[in-house]
Amino acid sequence: MDFRVPETGGTLSNPVIPGFHPDPSVCRVGEDYYLACSSFEYFPGVPVFHSRDLVHWTQIGNALDRPSQLRLPHDTASSGGIYAPTLRHHDGRFWLIVTNVSGDGNLLFTATDPAGPWSDPIRLPGVHGIDPDIAWDDDGNCWCTTAGVSQVRIDPHTGETFGPPRKLWSGTPGAKAPEAPHLYKIGDYWYLLIAEGGTERSHSVSIARGRTPGGPFEPCPANPILTHRGSDHPIQNTGHADLVQAPDGSWWMVLLGVRPQGGTPGWHVLGRETFLAPLDWADGWPVVGELSPDIPAPPWPLQPPAVVPGRDDFDAGDLAPYWISPRQRILEDCTTRERPGWLTLHARGGSLDDNGVTFLGRRQQHLSCRARALVDAGRGRGGLAVRLDEQHHYDIEVSADQVQVRVRIGPSNTVVASRPVPAGPVVLRVEAAAARTVNDARTGPDILSIGVEEPDGTYVELASLDGRYLSTEVAGGFTGRVIGMYASAGTVHFDWFAYEPCKH
């Protein structure tokens, strides 16, 4: 086998897609790369990105942007919904296979353009398990491999399965949760890449190979080929990887990881992010290169970084693809068409404690950042929130004559500050400042400052809150923080929303 090793030439910044973008799956078509991620309980689902250098990614859409594609019932739990897509290109089409753990099971979608539109789902009732992968052999047979690790042949056009699933490989003896399988034909072998060890600090990547897509598979003697368990590396929980070959013959790995902050045990607040690592080959086995916040850049020209607008004035008729909502987005309750130049939210659920709250947010993508919004509550009630799930969120809410800061941490639900405000629009602000110095083992990951801005721009802080309570280590689950706007009563209008990274 003839494999080329990536050359060095400067460094790139990891993660390449920061914020809550887990379970990356990547494919290449010509000189273009496409990548999809898990979205869990959020709608629209499965963000899709494009790049020409593997470093700078631009979101071009969401694969599941219609209720007919993505059914998330009202009682869908946080961290339920859509798990672990696999994105592939075959026979002139893009194929996306996912699991909806909240009712519909495994589903397959197709598109001629990865930006969409994507088809309605092809249901796969005979495919069991999560994290489905799809691969074709030289005879045109389509193989679906799921966590476990088991495999069944399918007809990707109808969803029909042929025969019972076969167990392929259980991963490393003693390692739990063999999952996230991806199957590749590389040279003379079929390679089966998996994650194992659980998606927490013991997460890892292992691989096996065989002469056929069904095995038998021999494990790599160097397994796991990637893990940061038991280390003080700044990137932890490394796993759920996918491989891609560049046009120059070099190989690369995309994977998820987290960046814990603060003292013990370390808290990550942005969710699991997408990282990139170079890949070498030795004796027919992949060898993962350095994975760090700064890694060698690919040996080709880098495209300019994508500029994601930091401010949305809601002048467009349609919402940008980075805006997401829990479970559903009812168009008449979340619209830019009712009051031109404003986002209008009509309350449906009573508060962010409720599954049906009207909420529109974007992923927090920087350890230190600032979010601001100009809110006109009128006779309604709503504001700005940092959300992890229904039981873990910080809110600043404005009504006709006052603003208040509310903290929800598990069973505790408390108003921690309030202040009168004049009638009319008011600027609300949330700012996260990452911990840079660990004063003691209990130092949290960041501090969230929440307050209002006076008409002259002066910032008035109403609350300073420990960020650890909006972390995965406290709340559990698989998602990261989402910062956005909500309505808890009546109708609330937002003239603009601004998000920017900060230096602290």
Whether 501 shows a pLDDT value over 80: the answer reads yes
Residue 10: the pLDDT is: 62
On the 0-12 / 13-18 / 19+ scale of CB atoms within 10 A, 212 is: exposed
* Dist CA 15 CA 5 (whole Å): 21
The residue ranking higher by pLDDT, 16 or 303, is: 16
Residue 67: the pLDDT is: 96
* Dist CA 491 CA 403 (whole Å): 16
End-to-end CA distance of the chain: 49
pLDDT band of residue 1 (cuts 50, 70, 90) is very low
- CATH of the domain spanning 311-501, picked from 3.20.20.70, 2.60.120.200, 1.10.3720.10, 3.40.50.10260: 2.60.120.200
Instruction: Please state the rounded mean pLDDT for residues 445-472.
Output: 96
Whether 240 shows a pLDDT value over 90: the answer reads yes
* Dist CA 474 CA 330 (whole Å): 31
pLDDT band of residue 417 (cuts 50, 70, 90) is very high
* Dist CA 432 CA 276 (whole Å): 26
Residue 9 CB coordination number (10 Å): 11
* Dist CA 312 CA 336 (whole Å): 11
Residue 476: the pLDDT is: 97
* Dist CA 175 CA 138 (whole Å): 32
- The string of pLDDT tens digits covering residues 43-78 is 999 999 999 999 999 999 999 999 999 999 999 999
Residue 440 CB coordination number (10 Å): 7
Structure tokens of 41?
A: 């309980």
Residue 8: the pLDDT is: 38
DSSP symbol at 472 = H
Q: Decide: helix, strand or coil at residue 467.
A: helix
Domain boundaries, the chain: 11-296, 311-501
Structure tokens of 178?
A: 């063999």
Instruction: Please state the rounded mean pLDDT for residues 192-211.
Output: 98
Whether the Cβ atoms of residue 17 and residue 49 lie closer than 8 Å to each other: yes
Whether the Cβ atoms of residue 106 and residue 46 lie closer than 8 Å to each other: no
Residue 100: the pLDDT is: 98
Structure tokens of 124?
A: 């796969």
* Dist CA 71 CA 149 (whole Å): 27
Q: What is the H or E stretch that residue 85 is in?
A: strand 82-90
Strand partners, 110: 95
Residue % of the chain over a pLDDT of 90:
89
Instruction: State which amino acid sits at residue 325.
Output: S
Whether the Cβ atoms of residue 263 and residue 440 lie closer than 8 Å to each other: yes
Q: β-strand 251-258 against 273-282: which pairing, if any?
A: antiparallel
Peptide linkage before 492 cis (omega within 30 of 0): no
Instruction: Please state the rounded mean pLDDT for residues 204-212.
Output: 98
Peptide linkage before 501 cis (omega within 30 of 0): no
* Dist CA 324 CA 346 (whole Å): 16
Is 11-296 in CATH node 2.115.10.20?
Answer: yes
- The string of pLDDT tens digits covering residues 150-196 is 999 999 999 999 999 999 999 999 999 999 999 999 999 999 999 99
Q: Which residue has the tokens 């003896």?
A: 173
Q: Decide: helix, strand or coil at residue 301.
A: coil
Query: Catalytic amino acids?
Result: 23, 179
Whether the Cβ atoms of residue 346 and residue 500 lie closer than 8 Å to each other: no
* Dist CA 147 CA 170 (whole Å): 9
Instruction: State which amino acid sits at residue 124.
Output: L
